[in-house]
Chains A and B, each alone.
Chain A
Amino acid sequence: MTVVASPEVADQDVPAEKGAAERGSRPGPRTVRPSEALLYAALVIVACLTLLPFGWVASGSLRSLADIRADPGAWLPSEVTFDNFVRLFATEGFSAYLVNSIVVAALVVGGNIVAASAAGYALAKFDFAGKRLAFGAVMAALMVPYTATFVPQFVVTMNLGLVDTLTGIALPAMALPISIFIMRQYASAVPDELLEAARIDGAGELRIFFRIFLPLAGPALATVTIMSFLAAWNNFIWPLVVAQSTSTYTLPVGLAATSNAANNVTDYGLMLAGAIVVMLPVLVLFLFLQRYFVQGVAATGLK
């Protein structure tokens, strides 16, 4: 699959910035293009429109109920208050949802690290009977649409006795095909000679995997961690189906349920604070580890 960008080239920062420097340094023929100033203006406008919802939610979450009732359409709080956040955690059950989301994310990330590093390594570094079949399974997992299987998945979960449990929410996402693609791609770049040398020295396969491959696989493991965390944290439809009581709600399900509760419909500030709590962790991670997010998404074009 050439779709999968290799770990080294996938980071677009380096070539893009280098190209820019080269182009900037000499007045080449490429300077003949629509005015750069106009482009900046257009980009800034699109950027503002993109960021508008974020700014609006941040401002709204800091407004008091009275403030919002007085002027629903105002852009800035007349007085900044953190009361909405306090109410979310004190009375709306968000502390439990937050803990559930963290537990589910930890299970999913842990599962993906184990399943994907092992499977990706095997697919990249072993020639074995049935390899095409195994690869076909990964492709199938990637292609079968989620919406097509959630009814039988629910029946399976019920028969496993996992309905309304955090394990039931996490389990289907614990070996995501995208994680396997990322690991397989990375493992392909590890030189065979390294593994062969260890084999000649008499190292067993498990030892080679743990002592030689895994220590080299840091960047790929980081991408897998980020991608599976993102998948777990943002997943909505499956937790919505499996979680049947508030004690197993994850943050997105809890937020949707809270916003549907009749007395909250007009309580904008509370709901916007809830939206902040749900989106902020991922956005902060994204700001600091952007490279891995972009790599992961570019890897297969899947979230």
Chain B
Amino acid sequence: MTTTVSQTGPQGTAVSARPSRRAKRTGAHRRTLVAWLFLLPFLAVFVVYTAIPTVAALGFSLTDLRGTDLRNPFAVEFVALSNYAWLFSDGRFVRDLGNTAIFVLVGVPLTMLLGFALALALDAGVRRLRGVFRTIFFAPVVTNVVAVALIWQYAFNRNGTVNEVLSNIGFAGPNWLGDPNLAMPVVILLGVWRNFGIAMVLFLAGLQGVPEDVHEAAALDGAGWWRRLWHITTPLLVPTILLVSVLLTVFYLQVFDEPYLLTDGGPLGSTESVALYTYHQFGFGQFGLSSAASFVILVLVAVVSIIQFRLLRPRA
């Protein structure tokens, strides 16, 4: 659509106004130059820290680069796809893919449901103290994860606060972070605590776009609260729901801070995400393998991002 407009524009003026066209063209050249100069600081950082590293990560992943080769990068050997082949035959990596899938499949719906419920309550459910509640629910989003993880560790310690509470009501609390079956829920809980505020804010913004009169008409026709939620609010919120689910999926696909700080992937690797695998292989000096694993994350995130882009484009 926009291409047709820009094609007819210059053609129309071509015959009648030659000098002004030239002036226009030098003007356009100048504007292009000025625009790129304005973009220069961003582009410098982008090229050095995003473009080159992305290409390099792909390159590294096809070599046997190790920490010891960094001073002499030409000593590395091209190993084609054998890092990838190794990854997918490595039980540890496959397990970590599974763990990451759990983070996504459990973390995303929990975060969304909590955020959605709170947004609904704050949008139409209560009349007072909305600002206070919103501040409280958003506070975890801005809170430093290292500090919170520390609190989580002490709270879910064998002798920690959670078990103290449990023992008061007659339960013997387990060693949460030391049990391969219980560590994951505790790690996911931290992820949900940190992220539900984002979901809430985005849903609140979405709910602002739901017209009031549709609701009132439906209510006059006798539709109850749940029916209106299901048949009016939810369908109108589909774009927001898609946006939030994609954003959270991208977050949880890259989950690193929570498992690194709480368990370092343990016990017995039960909470090691792919991002954490990447970091551990980096620590072992296996840069080639680490890059291959990180490229798997990149592909997964890219797929989700492309879906996001497709879904959002009609509205743009």
A, B: real partners: yes
- Set B136, B154, B220, B244: member contacting A268, Cβ < 8 A: B154
The answer on a CB contact under 8 Å between B31 and A36 is no
Cβ of A282 under 8 Å from chain B: yes
- Max chain B C-beta neighbours (<10 A), residue from A114, A115, A140: A115
A219 at the interface (CB under 8 A from B): no
Residues of A within 8 A of B256 (CB): 147, 237
Interface size on B, residues (CB 8 A): 105
Report the bound CA distance from A282 to B118 in whole Å.
23
Q: In the assembled complex, which residues on chain A have CB atoms less than 8 Å from the CB atom of B216?
A: 28-30
CA distance A233 to B290 in the complex (A): 27
> How far does the alpha carbon of A34 sit from the alpha carbon of B118 in the complex, in Å?
14
Are B28's CB and A128's CB within 8 A?
Answer: yes
Q: CA A158 – CA B56 in complex, angstroms?
A: 14
State whether A39 touches B32 (Cβ < 8 A): no
19 A–B pairs (Cβ distance < 8 Å), ordered by A: A29-B216, A30-B216, A50-B137, A51-B136, A128-B28, A140-B54, A149-B54, A151-B291, A151-B294, A152-B54, A152-B57, A156-B52, A253-B146, A259-B150, A275-B148, A278-B144, A278-B146, A278-B147, A301-B244
On chain A, the residues within 8 Å of B49 by CB distance are 149, 153, 156, 171-172
Chain A residues, CB < 8 A from B54: 140, 144, 148-149, 152
CB of A7 within 8 Å of the partner chain: no
| A-B contact sample (11 more), CB < 8 A, given A72-B159, A151-B57 | A23-B127, A29-B216, A33-B124, A34-B125, A50-B193, A116-B42, A126-B31, A128-B35, A145-B301, A237-B279, A298-B201
For window 23-46 of B, CB contacts with A under 8 Å fall at 28, 31-32, 34-36, 38-46
A255 close to B (CB within 8 Å): yes
Closest partner residue, chain A, to B196 (CB atom): A50
A144 to B253, CA, bound (A): 12
Q: For the complex, what is the distance from the CA of A110 to the CA of B210, rounded to whole Å?
A: 39
**Do A272 and B141 have beta carbons less than 8 Å apart?**
no
Shortest distance between the CB of A269 and any CB in chain B (Å): 10
Contacts A137-B46, A174-B45 hold; do A282 and B142 have CB atoms under 8 A apart?
yes
A53 to B154, CA, bound (A): 10
Residues of B with C-beta under 8 A to A96: none
Residues of chain A lying within 8 A (CB to CB) of residue B146: 236, 252-253, 255-256, 275, 278
B28: chain A residues within 8 A (beta carbon): 127-129
A255 to B125, CA, bound (A): 41
Verify if B160 is at the interface (C-beta below 8 Å from A).
yes
